[in-house]
Chains A and B, each alone.
Chain A
Amino acid sequence: MKTKQPIDAFARDLPREVRESVYVSSKAKYDKRLDSLNQSYTAPDSIRKLAGQIKQHTLENLPTYLGSAVEQLEKNGAKVHFAKDGQEANETILEIMRGVGATKLIKSKSMVSEEIHLNPFLEKHGCESIESDLGEFIVQLDNDMPSHIVTPIVHKNRKQIATTFQKAGIGEDYNDDPQTITRRARSFLRQKYIEAEVGLTGGNFVSAESGRIALVTNEGNARFSISANKTHIALIGIEKVVPSDKDMAVLLNLLARSATGQQLTVYTQFINGPKAAKQPDGPENMHVIFLDNERSNILGSEFKEILRCIRCGACLNVCPIYRQSSGHAYRAVYPGPVGAVLSPLLAGKKYPDYADLPKASSLCGACNEVCPVDIPLPELLLRHRNKAKQEGIKKASAGTPSMAGWSVLCSSPAMWKTSLRAGKAMDYISLNLIPVPAVQAWAKERTLPPFRGGKFRQWFKEHKRNKEA
């Protein structure tokens, strides 16, 4: 239909089983999150606010805190690099690999590396880059894209995964038992950990006080990636800095609970340099690459709050649009509400290409309510809409019904009153019968709740009368 936005069209064509698995998994994670927070804290909201303040404060003083983190890391023997954009980061990684004569890299899950398209870059230059997170590994075998920032293959079922493994020759036969799939990945990937000369990780937080990089995984893949080889590269966005180790305690408490409902992620690592002298395993060289890639521009803009994001995925899980459309509908590395705010900004000059994403929201506010760092996501989405409108970006208004009728209605009290009475009539008239294409398109996938309004004026009149009496 003409009035549809791209994301609506994607949702319409989504196979039912994908929608179902996305919906079921989102809901399960949402419920677990709520249970775990409520079991632990009497006032979880105050902790979200605290975490938001800590991150906001750090961002507003980023040069100081980032500078201190760099100093600490260097003091401990890590080499620190700075990359303006994806291209520079990729080249730095390749240079480091060439410097140690490496052609094989094992990678733990990192959204930033997705953002800069590291894997295809390394492959183009004759290097092997293997994903070690089970979900990311399957995505890589399939030449697919992750559809969620925490659970990358929520859009796939066991049958598809088993077929992928069979095609790739992992295990002897087709087997779709989740346990067998996991065991087969275990034995395949441990060889890769050992063969790899370089391990690449992201970083969840960096403490300015100690330079410590906190890195969390449940599988232990990030730990394995920096145990069996001699070079570690940590690729980290500048927004990951927090003032101190103590502050990481708040964020770690919230991250796992918000993402998966766990109290703490299974492996929570803190790294601030090459391995200790007497430790036989682990990297002798540690490189940290801080990446800007539009982040300093975002920091200077009306969208800076989005840089607080700790990539927990809670806003995806709660979002009615994400649940219906799945992550791929957002056409970008970061889906869901966070993606709708972040992806257009990370696109830089290509902002207009993603200007429709901020409209993929009902502005219900649920994302703000669950966000562990209290990012005002609906507010930021509105700022995007406003920006796109002011800049006259066409894509941003595709599929928007005209507000002309509405504005006439609102400007006349008499007409407003009449329309309220008419509102009641909507309980009996099907929206499909209204001969306006925009209304029909809207009504095709939605139903209206029964009309409960229109009684205020009457109540007020009576109330006034009673008071006077």
Chain B
Amino acid sequence: MKKEDFFKPIEDAVNLIDDAKRTPLPDWDLSTIRSSQMPSDTSPEGLWNAFKTRFDLVHGTCAEGASELLAALKSQSVKAGYVDPELKSKLRPWLQEAGIEIHTEIDASQIDTYQFGITQAAGIIAETGTIILSDKSTSSRLGALSPWLHIAVLPEQAPIYPTLYDAMLDLGDDPYIVFVTGPSKTADVEGILIEGVHGPGIQICCKL
């Protein structure tokens, strides 16, 4: 239906409200919603440590450096997976040596051939243990979602937001952003927690 016709009854409805009784937009800031999970040490080191603690609590795994990344891949005995084209040259020597095949594109009709995905994060949030992926920073939505094992590489210059609030104020102009807080999960069957429903069962954040 036409926009004007759609808005008319909404306008009529709010016009019934007495001006004196209208609720003002509350004035608030970060201090109003301060949580005990907010990191107290806001140095880069402190924030990374705070992130590690929170990410661990949501069953995420942190890794530092290429050797830890490789160990994670080996522990799952993967043979082939997706790698962000920008990371390819950096990671290829390591992966080749381990006999792991690299794809830099996802063919959706072959979705199950990708046992892992390595993509780049746009940032992380310390307070909640969250990885931020976005259309502009993360090379493939499917590469970060469909494999059982996902490794989000945190680029050196990527921001570590102390809180969810800070991250929300800095969403920028990316049309698609996703906060990933742990592996995909469900408790639909008798309330029992199962990880890896549609997305990764193992979620790793790696500082390279």
B199 adjacent to A223 (CB under 8 Å): yes
Least Cβ distance of A70 to chain B in Å?
7
A219 adjacent to B198 (CB under 8 Å): yes
Closest to A270 in B: B177
Which of chain B's residues have a CB closer than 8 A to the CB of A266?
58, 180-185
B168 adjacent to A84 (CB under 8 Å): no
Cβ-neighbour of B199 out of A61, A63, A224, A292 (below 8 A)? A224
Cβ-neighbour of B174 out of A25, A185, A276 (below 8 A)? A276
A224 adjacent to B198 (CB under 8 Å): yes
Which of chain A's residues have a CB closer than 8 A to the CB of B1?
82-84, 88
Q: Which of A235-250 contact B (CB under 8 A)?
A: 238, 243, 245-246, 248-250
Interface: A7 (CB within 8 A)? no
Cβ-neighbour of B178 out of A194, A268, A278 (below 8 A)? A268
Cβ-neighbour of B106 out of A21, A252, A280 (below 8 A)? A280
A224 adjacent to B13 (CB under 8 Å): no
Task: Give how many A residues have a beta carbon under 8 Å from the other chain's beta carbons.
Answer: 100
A63 adjacent to B171 (CB under 8 Å): no
A182 adjacent to B181 (CB under 8 Å): no
Closest to A301 in B: B13
A252 adjacent to B164 (CB under 8 Å): yes
Least Cβ distance of A412 to chain B in Å?
40
Knowing A61-B14, A227-B142, A281-B142 are in contact, say whether A161-B189 is a contact too (CB < 8 A): yes
Which of chain B's residues have a CB closer than 8 A to the CB of A271?
175-176
B14 adjacent to A299 (CB under 8 Å): yes
B190 adjacent to A21 (CB under 8 Å): yes
A190 adjacent to B111 (CB under 8 Å): yes
Q: Which of B155-188 contact A (CB under 8 A)?
A: 164-165, 168-169, 171, 174-188
Closest to A25 in B: B191
A40 adjacent to B35 (CB under 8 Å): yes
Q: Contact flags (1/0) for A247-277 with B, using CB distance below 8 Å?
A: 0111011000000101111111111111110
A158 adjacent to B190 (CB under 8 Å): yes
Q: Which of A186-219 contact B (CB under 8 A)?
A: 186-187, 189-190, 193-194, 210, 212, 218-219
Knowing A219-B199, A266-B183 are in contact, say whether A182-B11 is a contact too (CB < 8 A): no
Spot the interface stretch: A45-53, A325-333, A364-372, A433-441: A45-53
Knowing A186-B196, A194-B108, A270-B171 are in contact, say whether A82-B2 is a contact too (CB < 8 A): yes
Cβ-neighbour of A53 out of B9, B11, B26, B179 (below 8 A)? B26
Which of chain A's residues have a CB closer than 8 A to the CB of B196?
182-183, 186
Q: Contact flags (1/0) for A50-80 with B, using CB distance below 8 Å?
A: 1001101101111100110010000010000
B190 adjacent to A178 (CB under 8 Å): yes
Cβ-neighbour of A182 out of B2, B10, B165, B189 (below 8 A)? B189
Cβ-neighbour of A218 out of B2, B34, B164, B186 (below 8 A)? B186
Interface centre among B10, B33, B171, B175 (most CB of A within 10 A): B175
A267 to B187, CA, bound (A): 15
Which of chain B's residues have a CB closer than 8 A to the CB of A62?
10, 13-14
Interface: B197 (CB within 8 A)? yes
B189 adjacent to A264 (CB under 8 Å): no
A292 adjacent to B9 (CB under 8 Å): yes
Interface: B192 (CB within 8 A)? yes
B135 adjacent to A300 (CB under 8 Å): no
Spot the interface stretch: A8-16, A131-139, A422-430: A131-139
Interface: A39 (CB within 8 A)? yes
A193 to B146, CA, bound (A): 11
Interface: A316 (CB within 8 A)? no
Which of chain A's residues have a CB closer than 8 A to the CB of B140?
279-281
Cβ-neighbour of A227 out of B145, B177, B186, B192 (below 8 A)? B145
Cβ-neighbour of A132 out of B105, B189, B198 (below 8 A)? B198
A182 adjacent to B16 (CB under 8 Å): no
Q: Which of B84-108 contact A (CB under 8 A)?
A: 105-106, 108
A280 to B198, CA, bound (A): 20
A269 adjacent to B178 (CB under 8 Å): yes
Which of chain A's residues have a CB closer than 8 A to the CB of B33?
41, 47, 50, 249-250, 253
Interface: A163 (CB within 8 A)? no
Which of chain B's residues have a CB closer than 8 A to the CB of A194?
108-109, 111
Q: Contact flags (1/0) for B94-135 with A, using CB distance below 8 Å?
A: 000000000001101101100000000000000011100001
A220 adjacent to B106 (CB under 8 Å): no
Cβ-neighbour of B136 out of A189, A272, A276 (below 8 A)? A276
Q: Which of A1-44 contact B (CB under 8 A)?
A: 21, 24-25, 28, 39-42
A292 adjacent to B6 (CB under 8 Å): yes
Interface: A152 (CB within 8 A)? yes
A153 adjacent to B36 (CB under 8 Å): no
B177 adjacent to A57 (CB under 8 Å): no
Which of chain A's residues have a CB closer than 8 A to the CB of B136?
276, 278-279
Interface: A181 (CB within 8 A)? yes
Which of chain B's residues have a CB closer than 8 A to the CB of A268?
130, 178-179, 181
A270 adjacent to B176 (CB under 8 Å): yes
Interface centre among B6, B37, B128, B145 (most CB of A within 10 A): B6
The 19 listed contacts between A and B (C-beta, < 8 Å) are A39-B36, A60-B17, A135-B186, A153-B188, A157-B190, A178-B192, A218-B197, A219-B197, A226-B141, A246-B168, A249-B164, A262-B181, A263-B37, A264-B128, A265-B181, A267-B199, A270-B178, A281-B143, A292-B6
A residues within 8 Å of B by Cβ?
Answer: 21, 24-25, 28, 39-42, 46-47, 50, 53-54, 56-57, 59-63, 66-67, 70, 76, 82-84, 88, 132-135, 138, 151-154, 157-158, 161, 178-179, 181-183, 185-187, 189-190, 193-194, 210, 212, 218-221, 223-224, 226-228, 238, 243, 245-246, 248-250, 252-253, 260, 262-276, 278-282, 290, 292, 296-297, 299-300, 304
B residues within 8 Å of A by Cβ?
Answer: 1-3, 5-7, 9-14, 16-17, 22-26, 28, 32-37, 54, 58, 105-106, 108-109, 111-112, 128-130, 135-136, 139-143, 145-146, 164-165, 168-169, 171, 174-192, 194, 196-199
- Beyond the given pairs A62-B10, A297-B9, 12 more chain A to chain B contacts, judged by CB atoms under 8 angstroms and listed by A's residue number, are A21-B190, A46-B32, A60-B17, A185-B197, A218-B185, A245-B168, A263-B128, A266-B185, A269-B179, A282-B135, A282-B141, A290-B6
